[in-house]
Structure 1
Amino acid sequence: MHRDERGRGISRNQFLAGAGAIGAAAAAGSLLSGAPARAVAPGSRNEKRGLRHRGVCYTVGAGETPATAWSTARMRADVRAIAEDLHATSIEVTGDGVERLNATASEAAERGLHVWLQPTLGDRPAHEILDHLAETGRHLERLRRQGARADLSVGCEFWLFVPGIVPGDNAQERIRNLMAGTYDPELMMRRLDAFTRRAAAVGRSVFGGSLSYAAAQDDEVDWNLFDIVGIDYYSSYPNRADHVRELRKYLRWGKPLAITEFGTCAYVGAPDAGGMGWDVVDYTQEPPRIKEDLVRSERTQAAYLTELLGIFESLDLYAAMAFEFVTADAPYCTDPHLDLDMVGYAIVKPVKDRFDDPESDWHWEPKEAFHALAQCYGRARRG
């Protein structure tokens, strides 16, 4: 489980369910009534220069087993690899736990990386979520004043992870209520708008840099509250013109656009599943078992990531964060029905010393997606 110092957080499976809820947003309709905002463009430019920040999402959490528990040593090694081997210029530090988030942000800043901090404590009372945001935002502000390049995202998809906006005690229940229509859309939008405004106010009160929020593609957010538009992007189209057409609608507010997540799984056909690529696992079995006969294809994942990265570069977007670096609790297995790495979004694969032992030590190995991104990021750095 992901645990915050104050209490129980959201499990990995609930976070995965959240990715699938991107589709549920369409069923929910417009989540916020927002108007085009004035342009507040940090680092706006007229000349063509491609992406400003190229990075990867790095999720911190307590881990689901002692073997996958968060550790300072492992985090430092991962951040070093992100900076030196992946050649990223940015890292999205996300997840829950004030100490974990702050330590990772500090390490990334010391490595010279641009820090996109996005605390995502969920399924806790609203005041705890906002306190968690404030504590991490204050630390990021200290780093910024010391010279770090940093932006703060106040969270992601609040309608899914913050209790009281949509009925349900957890993310899965809220998804079911959204899909079944057992909620009041107008009441939901008022509550969502109110919490988003509270989060933005907290962010402004503790952080002096640029503020953002990570929205699902179908959300309508009042971007007047923020300096940077943030979108979790999982579309799949047969040609790049469709991607360009879709992405340009997020530029209509005249603000920088950050792709806060983009990625796919490592099997044939995964891009067509978008944010639901993980939804082929039966978690009621032990160990969890993949229900379909899938064909592992790291090449599919690498091709999708590099294609989208090229499109983001052509549009001169502010940032793009590949989702994600590692998912420790989704280990690789030679048995395709037990290969949780294949149906995860990570660009490195966790390999356990003893697959059947929950206490087994593990290490990660780069996938084709890692090498493909490293080549693109390295070329951009040299350029």
Structure 2
Amino acid sequence: MGVATAVGTTGWATAAEPTPIGTSDGNARRRGLTHRGVCYTLGAGETPGTAWQPARVRDDVRAIQRELHADSIKVTGDGVQRLTTTAAEAAERGLHIWLEPTLGDQPEQDILDHLAECGRFAERLRRQGAKVDLSVGCEFWLFVPGIVPGAHVLERIANLQNGTFDPVHMQRELRRFIGRAARVGRSVFHGRLSYASAQGDEVDWTLFDIVGLNYYSSFPRRSSYVRELEKYLRWGKPLAITEFGTCTFVGAPEAGGMGWATVDYTKDPPEIIGNPIRSEHTQAVYLLELLDVFESMGLYSAMAFEFITPDQPHRKEIRYDLDLASYGIVKVIKDNPNDPESDWHWKPKESFHALARRYARAATD
């Protein structure tokens, strides 16, 4: 959803203090985005066939650098080893890293301990010369128990949609936990700190160096995007678009961050709901449209959501084509679609090629 060991010496120079980065001033507007990249989500995997594998990570990070031509990667998800191994691989390739631990549905202290361990690793990378920013988390109301009622993410989403929650309590608890996370982040990491907020969240951005926003709006006019995003520049700090993207069907941009809900997971195997029309073109057009807006505003970074969703494979039968509901810019193809443990590979979608052309062009400007 729009949801380790120390690294040895590798020849990086000792990192200096963070250098100033562009905000919304005239110079930033002229040069476009500072960083262009993609979100890379990590987890244990839904099935043995989608379990995390270091070899896949190496291949994917290589493709993100060489084929997508991204200069940045958001390493997010849970599992300290998964996150730090991937961040180290990205650092070896010279990519800018946005490290964002998102352990969910666990006690608050466990989530903060997970953040602290990842933050300490990020600091080691930074001191060795890697380009790394640390996000203390993502949309805490979704992942941290007690902010919104619900035993897990899907229950919390349902309660938000049904209005069965206390908005005052939600904002109070959200601000409280963001404050705790910011203090933990500052205690272990001395580079730039941020948080990936949802649109409409009340965040005290004085706690952070970079304003982070998961952005899924859809407007018919570019001016509407600019007007909405300018509200996040009033803090006088760089604005990072920590997620932006859409699914792979006609009308997906209008569904925003809920495009994934077009799957009925109560059925075995899961089925697509209704009769959506698969459209890689819709996804590609939306991504480029938003990227143009972000470039025109001279924002700090934009991370397309997301590179891959291994548990949503593409199939020719629309009824079972879970890639329709995927935000991934590559599609997963199983060798044996009926075997959960089957090996798989990925193929670029139209959106991958569109972003690759744009990112490559920006790198030579």
TM-score (norm 2): 0.92
CA deviation digits over 1:111-154, x for unaligned, max 9? 00000000000000000000000000000100000000110000
Partner in structure 1 of residue 297 of structure 2: 315
2:175 is aligned with 1:197: no
Q: Displacement of 1:279 after TM fit? A: 1.4
Distance in 1 of aligned mates of 2:95 and 2:227:
31
Q: Displacement of 1:41 after TM fit? A: 8.8
The correspondence for 2:128, drawn from 146, 150, 153, is 146
The correspondence for 2:73, drawn from 91, 110, 114, is 91
Partner in structure 1 of residue 64 of structure 2: 82
The correspondence for 1:223, drawn from 205, 213, 227, is 205
2:96 is aligned with 1:104: no
Aligned ranges 1:201-350 → 2 under 5 Å: 201-350=183-332
Distance in 1 of aligned mates of 2:277 and 2:165:
39
2:183 is matched by which residue type in structure 1?
A: A
Distance in 1 of aligned mates of 2:64 and 2:124:
23
Partner in structure 2 of residue 42 of structure 1: 20
CA deviation digits over 1:170-191, x for unaligned, max 9? 1222233333443333333222
How many residues in Structure 1 have an aligned counterpart in Structure 2? 347
Distance in 2 of aligned mates of 1:90 and 1:96:
19
Distance in 1 of aligned mates of 2:298 and 2:351:
22
Partner in structure 2 of residue 21 of structure 1: none
Q: Displacement of 1:46 after TM fit? A: 4.3
Q: Displacement of 1:309 after TM fit? A: 0.5
Distance in 1 of aligned mates of 2:126 and 2:232:
27
CA RMSD of aligned residues (A): 1.4
2:63 is aligned with 1:63: no
The correspondence for 1:363, drawn from 345, 348, 359, is 345
Whether the 8 Å CA contact 2:192–2:210 is kept in 1: the answer is yes
Q: Displacement of 1:292 after TM fit? A: 1.1
Whether the 8 Å CA contact 1:331–1:349 is kept in 2: the answer is yes
Whether the 8 Å CA contact 1:59–1:94 is kept in 2: the answer is yes
Partner in structure 2 of residue 352 of structure 1: 334
Q: Displacement of 1:343 after TM fit? A: 1.4
SS for the counterpart of 1:277 is: helix
Whether the 8 Å CA contact 1:42–1:210 is kept in 2: the answer is no
TM-score (norm 1): 0.88
Whether the 8 Å CA contact 1:41–1:256 is kept in 2: the answer is no
Q: Once the two structures are aligned, what percentage of the paired residues are identical?
A: 67
Whether the 8 Å CA contact 1:42–1:256 is kept in 2: the answer is no
1:300–1:187 Cα change, 3 Å: closer
Gapped runs of 5+ residues in structure 1?
A: 1-14, 19-39
Whether the 8 Å CA contact 1:349–1:364 is kept in 2: the answer is yes
Gapped runs of 5+ residues in structure 2?
A: 4-17
1:43 is matched by which residue type in structure 2?
A: I
Whether the 8 Å CA contact 1:41–1:227 is kept in 2: the answer is no
2:360 is aligned with 1:382: no
Distance in 1 of aligned mates of 2:79 and 2:332:
22
CA deviation digits over 1:218-270, x for unaligned, max 9? 11211011110001001111111111111111111110000000001111111
The correspondence for 2:119, drawn from 137, 140, 154, is 137
Q: Displacement of 1:192 after TM fit? A: 1.7
Whether the 8 Å CA contact 1:41–1:255 is kept in 2: the answer is no
Partner in structure 2 of residue 26 of structure 1: none
Distance in 2 of aligned mates of 1:110 and 1:69:
23
